[in-house]
């Protein structure tokens, strides 16, 4: 599967960009899956629900299923966090996997950048950042720079970069 990442500091617009990219890429006829890295403890389950109770009782995995979707929750329980490669191996085949976060991994990425966040550009020191989507012009960068809101141009760049036409 082809992969491409979206990175940037908190509140720089990564999730909004991901959402727009998924819509645009699927509108162009490609299948897309996403992986999002969370730096904090999270839970998609709700206390008191049967699946929550199963996990709390010690189940290693709990699979919830309905006629609309299914979700598999796997408890790490002190093990090492799975690598991005291991997680990619769990996905069904698609044309493209968009990855939000995992900025230290080696896949190609575009950086979402807003001047109001006032954080340094990751792209200046990271060769895996092959483009930047920003709310200002950045003429001193060697990587291509797109307007953060130009979803069509960013999509075209990503699809071309990963070899999907």
Residue indicated by tokens 């008191």: 48
pLDDT tens digits for range 93-113: 999 999 999 999 999 999 999
Residue 62 confidence class, pLDDT cut points 50, 70, 90:
confident
Dihedral of CA atoms 20, 22, 28, 29 in degrees, nearest 10, equals -160
pLDDT tens digits for range 20-61: 999 999 999 999 999 998 866 666 777 878 888 888 888 888
Domain 2-40+81-162: what homologous superfamily?
P-loop containing nucleotide triphosphate hydrolases (3.40.50.300)
Q: Dihedrals φ, ψ of 51, to 5°? A: -65, -40
Q: Dihedrals φ, ψ of 89, to 5°? A: -65, -15
pTM, full prediction:
0.89
For residue 162, pLDDT beyond 90 = yes
* Helical H segments across the chain, by residue range: 14-27, 50-57, 84-88, 151-162
């Amino acid at each position: 599967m082809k992969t491409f990442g979206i990175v940037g500091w908190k509140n720089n617009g990564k999730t909004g960009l991901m959402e727009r990219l998924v819509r645009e890429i699927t509108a162009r006829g490609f299948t897309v899956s996403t992986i999002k890295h969370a730096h904090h403890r999270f839970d998609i389950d709700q206390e008191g629900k049967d699946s929550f109770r199963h996990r709390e009782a010690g189940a290693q995995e709990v699979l919830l299923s309905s006629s609309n979707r299914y979700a598999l929750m796997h408890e790490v329980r002190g093990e090492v966090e799975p690598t991005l490669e291991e997680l990619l191996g769990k996905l069904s085949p698609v044309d493209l996997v968009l990855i939000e976060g995992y900025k230290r991994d080696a896949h190609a990425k575009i950086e979402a950048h807003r001047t109001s966040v006032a954080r340094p550009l990751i792209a200046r020191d990271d060769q895996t950042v092959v483009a930047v989507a920003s709310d200002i012009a950045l003429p001193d960068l060697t990587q291509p720079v797109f307007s953060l809101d130009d979803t069509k141009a960013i999509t075209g760049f990503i699809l071309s970069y990963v070899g999907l036409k």
